[in-house]
Amino acid sequence: MEGAENNKHRTTDNIAISYTGIFDTEILSVLAKEIEGTLSPDDKINKKVFKIFIELAQNISMYSLEREPNSHGTDMGVGTMIIRNFDNYYEFSAGNRTTKDSIIPVMEKCDNINSMTRDKLREYRRLQRNMPAGEKGGGNIGLIQVALTASNPIEYALVKCEDGDYFYIVSVRIDKE
């Protein structure tokens, strides 16, 4: 993990796990093990956070504007993930560089997902799951899954970087009870 920051159980800002760097298979598997094994004493919570991690980490790998070659020479997305541990919930945040044009539809998808009841969201997932692979809009299913798993709204923020790119952050809360 050269050049990357990987801090576990840091006490500042309630951070339990944080990572910034390339989102490639090997690093994702290290992070996955941390989440699965040590985040919470409650396995059900760990599984929820793990499911959310897989879906959002894959988005960074695939769609981050900032890319670096991994050890096999394949360009992978660079981004950040932070898991914060609060009294009653964990907060999972994932962020990556993007362009405004490409992220506006994603933010609209989040708004759409947040406006739905759980039953509507399940119906939407069924609809999306039946779309052929590669069909435009098929990527929604990961965000729908995140909302269903967390049982909480998807929060997001878009920050303009000094170089004109944007940094997109998506966060969800996972209740401990």
51 scored as a contact of other proteins (CB under 8 A):
yes
Rounded least distance, CB 16 to other proteins, Å: 21
The separation between CA 53 and the C-alpha centre of its own chain, rounded to angstroms, equals: 5
Give the end-to-end CA distance of the chain in Å, rounded to a whole number. 34
In terms of CB distance, is 15 or 141 closer to other proteins? 141
Tell me the two tokens of residue 143: 């965000």
User: CA-based angle 176:15:173, to the nearest 5?
Assistant: 35
CA 158, CA 156: separation in Å to the nearest integer? 7
15 scored as a contact of other proteins (CB under 8 A):
no
153 scored as a contact of other proteins (CB under 8 A):
no
63 scored as a contact of other proteins (CB under 8 A):
no
Interface residue list for other proteins (CB under 8 A): 25-26, 28-29, 44, 47-48, 50-51, 54-55, 58, 122, 125-126, 129-130, 133, 141-142, 145, 148-149, 151
